[in-house]
Amino acid sequence: MLRRSARTAAAGVAFLIAAAVPSSVWSSASALVPGAGAGARRGTGAGGAPVVIAHRGASRYAPENTLAAVDAAHHHGFLWVENDVQRTKDGQLVVMHDATLRRTTDAAKVFPGRAPWRVGDFTAAEIARLDAGSWFGKRFAGERVPTLADYLRRVDRNGQRLLLELKSPEKYPGIEAQAIRELRELGWLDRAHINSRLIVQSFCVRCVRTVHELVPQVRTGILGAPDVGELAHCARFADQINPPVSALSSRWTASVHRLRGPHGRPLEIYAWNAAKDASARTAVEWGVDGIIV
């Protein structure tokens, strides 16, 4: 049922995106969104095609935010993957979307007396014991919650690019500096990565500003849809404004694109929740720079 629903959702997004962009833009390359392979592989919005980013990895083909999802994205032609980073009780960075471990691991079974199984209440060693794949499908049994370090190594090995979200950073003081430190230690702050392979984003505007202050050369994005009157302030330290598709309007999109970010380029828009919203076609027509699917 999960796989059937996934194929249906992917096909819907494929129709919406492909219908909005001239067919000459797309290649026949395999991608999670069939027909969007050119944008996925190229990783740029050149020629009118938005970048297509694999949300939590290829999370329609493998359990989200796992190394299997990174590899599935690579297999299906995705150049860009998106993830979520949180911190364990003993200070290690791991890749996990939800505030708790319950939905995507067997934490409730392994640690039955520790509800509600918040990520920050478990050590990295405890989280490493959990099965993060069986909930998605039997063949993924034993898949683990990756550390950020392991995730970065896999993305690098595959030659992919990363849209890294600092998840709920208000819960983890100093996570901005810690994430930057790990990125530096693993070679992700060299010129090649900074120029074309890394973007750091968050819903926390203050945290995005902190990342920019720590490493001004790294591209950053603000998740959400700030009011038009707030955009000029955001453009001082953010290169992207990344809203849900449902929040887009022609006026708002034009207002974002009129501004230039801290690196002197026009602000970009990477829209998300495209698979859940029939306005994806309109979003592409308005000229969003990326679609997170």
The answer to whether the CB of 241 falls within 8 A of the CB of 269 is yes
Please identify which of the residues 74, 97, 193, 212 carries the catalytic annotation: 97
Q: How far apart are the first and last CA of the chain?
A: 19
Helix, strand, coil share (%) of the chain residues, nearest 5: 40, 15, 40
Question: From CA 28, how far away is CA 134, in angstroms rounded?
Answer: 32
- In sequence order, the β-bridge partners of residue 53 are 80, 292
Q: Let me know if 74 is a catalytic residue.
A: no
In angstroms, the Cα distances linking 234 to 84, 170, 207 are 22, 19, 12
User: H or E element: which one contains 12?
Assistant: helix 2-20
Q: Which residues contact 70 (CB under 8 A, 6 or more apart)?
A: 57, 58, 81, 151, 154, 155, 158, 160
Which amino acid does the sequence have at 176?
E
Question: From CA 73, how far away is CA 93, in angstroms rounded?
Answer: 22
Question: From CA 150, how far away is CA 227, in angstroms rounded?
Answer: 37
Q: Let me know if 55 is a catalytic residue.
A: yes
Unique residue bearing structure tokens 């690019």:
161
How would you classify the pairing of strands 51-54 and 290-292? Answer: parallel
**DSSP secondary structure letters along 247-262:** G--HHHHHHHHHSB-T
Q: Which residues contact 174 (CB under 8 A, 6 or more apart)?
A: none
Helix (H), strand (E) counts: the chain? 12, 9
Question: From CA 288, how far away is CA 275, in angstroms rounded?
Answer: 15
Please identify which of the residues 55, 74, 76, 193 carries the catalytic annotation: 55
The residues annotated with a catalytic role in the active site are 55, 97
